[in-house]
Amino acid sequence: MNYEDLMKRAISLADQYKYTAKPNPVVGCIIVKNKTIISEGAHKEFGSHHAEVNAIEEAKKLQGISFVSFEELTLICTLEPCNHLGKTGPCTEAIINSGIKNVIIGAEDPNPLVSGSGIKNLISHGVAVQAGVCAELVQEQNKFFFFKNTNKRPYITIKIASSKDGKSHLADGDRTFITSKESRQDVQELRAIHDAILTGGNTVVNDLPKMNARVNFPLNQPKKILLSNKSNLDLSAEFFKDCNYEILNETGIHKIIEKYSKTDITSILVEAGPKLVNSFLDSGLVDKVIIYESQNNLGPNGVNWFKEDNTVEKLGFKLESSYKIETDTKKIYIKC
């Protein structure tokens, strides 16, 4: 295998942990001797050891069996090794201390605490570094993490369920499900990949959502953000049961996003009613709109989702992809 193939293998290795490592990036690492794999590691869980450290620890078990000295080995990692003391020690230090003299890197870490300093530190300690191998794949794999560090704010997606005629619910009726069970299951996976879910007080009061990701795999559950100044919230409702929530009495969208830009949250899924959804759209901070559209119309008594001619295209979004989920259509729009 050449370094590109090994990097692709490290990327696949990392991918398994996309639900548990978040909001951290997923990272994979492979240690080779003459391009034969000695050990592998990944960043498996938020707060736990980094990929490089896991791979080095595995390799140590094979010293004297598969190789003699770490100087014979090359370390391949998808992301630039960190150079800061975070929840774990710097990976650069672990690499330098191991004696490894060759490192191949996928993408530079955009985190301002790292961003090139990891590479510099390795080089200054006599380690040969080659960076940029399959960098675009690594950036794509960690889209939210790169977005956040480049744009200094989380990636924002709005998700809505809509009738065929673009309505949210009946103005005077009870709230019923618009879309199919399969679409609603798809939403669970959408929640699972996000770091936070944001909603409004009316949605919590009217729809009684749990707003967690109900999936059959382990994950770091998204944080729930509730924007509400209601004094009569029923704190025994499902939404509040797991304590993974924050209530904000703030209506300025820019201020809210600024607050989360300072945290490690890299992505926010907005699941709310038309009022809050339109406030987000007005803010200009929305990157993606996902519409689960049913085949049925709600008619003139239905409440429109969007202001301008009730179309999201008029608000500066274009259709990126569209596919069927049972009887519904999932439409993904991105900012033009």
Q: Does 11 bind Zn ion (CB under 5 A)?
A: no
278 binds, among Zn ion, ligand AOF, none (CB under 5 to 8 A by kind): none
Which of the listed partners (Zn ion, ligand AOF, none) does 111 bind, with a CB threshold of 5 to 8 Å by partner kind? ligand AOF
| Residue with smaller CB distance to ligand AOF, 105 or 298 | 105
The yes or no reply on residue 82 touching Zn ion (CB under 5 A) is yes
- Whether 258 is a known active-site residue: answer no
Give min distance, CB of 115 to Zn ion, in A.
13
Q: Which of 32, 81, 105, 179 contacts ligand AOF by CB under 6 A? A: 81
Quick check: 109 binds ligand AOF (CB under 6 A)?
Answer: yes
Residue 26: closest CA among 219, 283, 240: 219
Ordered DSSP codes for 192-255: HH-SEEEEEHHHHHHH----S---SS---PPEEEEE---S---TTSGGGTTS-EEEE----HHH
The interface partner of residue 105, options being Zn ion, ligand AOF, none and the CB cut-off 5 to 8 Å by kind, is: none
Does residue 52 belong to the site contacting ligand AOF (CB under 6 A)?
yes
CA 145 from centroid of its chain's CA atoms: 7
The least distance separating Zn ion from the CB of residue 266, rounded to whole angstroms, comes to 17
Distances from the Cα of 23 to the Cα of 52, 258, 263, 321, angstroms: 18, 17, 10, 26
User: 10, 27, 38, 289: which one contacts ligand AOF (CB under 6 A)?
Assistant: 27
CB of 42 to ligand AOF, least distance (A): 7
Closest to ligand AOF by CB, 22 or 169: 22
Among positions 28-57, residues that touch Zn ion (CB under 5 A) are 50
The binder of Zn ion chosen from 11, 91, 178, 272 (CB under 5 A) = 91
Burial 3-28 (b: 16+ CB within 10 A, else e): beebbbbbbebbeebebbbbbbbbbb
Amino acid at 39: S
d(CA 174, CA 243): 28
Residues 156-195, one symbol each (x = binds ligand AOF by CB under 6 A, - = not), give ----------------------------------------
Rounded to 5°, angle at Cα 12 from 7 and 16 = 145
SS3 104: strand
Among residues 114 and 178, whose Cβ is nearest to Zn ion?
A: 114
Six-digit token string for 214: 């109900």
Work out whether 25 is an interface residue with ligand AOF (CB under 6 A).
Answer: yes
Of 6 and 29, CB closest to Zn ion: 29
Placement of tokens 């080995």 in the chain = 73
**Selected binder of ligand AOF within 82, 119, 122, 315 (CB under 6 A):** 82
Give the other-Cβ count within 10 Å of 124's Cβ: 10
Q: Which residues contact 246 (CB under 8 A, 6 or more apart)?
A: 223, 224, 225, 226
Check binding of 86 to ligand AOF (CB under 6 A): yes
- Rounded distance, CA 102 to CA 36, Å? 14
What are 275's two structure tokens?
């009022």
The verdict on 156 binding Zn ion (CB under 5 A) reads no
Residues 6+ apart with CB under 8 A from 127: 95, 96, 100, 101, 102, 103
Give the residue numbers marked as catalytic. 52
Residues contributing to the site for ligand AOF (CB under 6 A): 24-25, 27, 43, 50-52, 79, 81-82, 86-88, 91, 109, 111, 114
Residues contributing to the site for Zn ion (CB under 5 A): 50, 82, 91
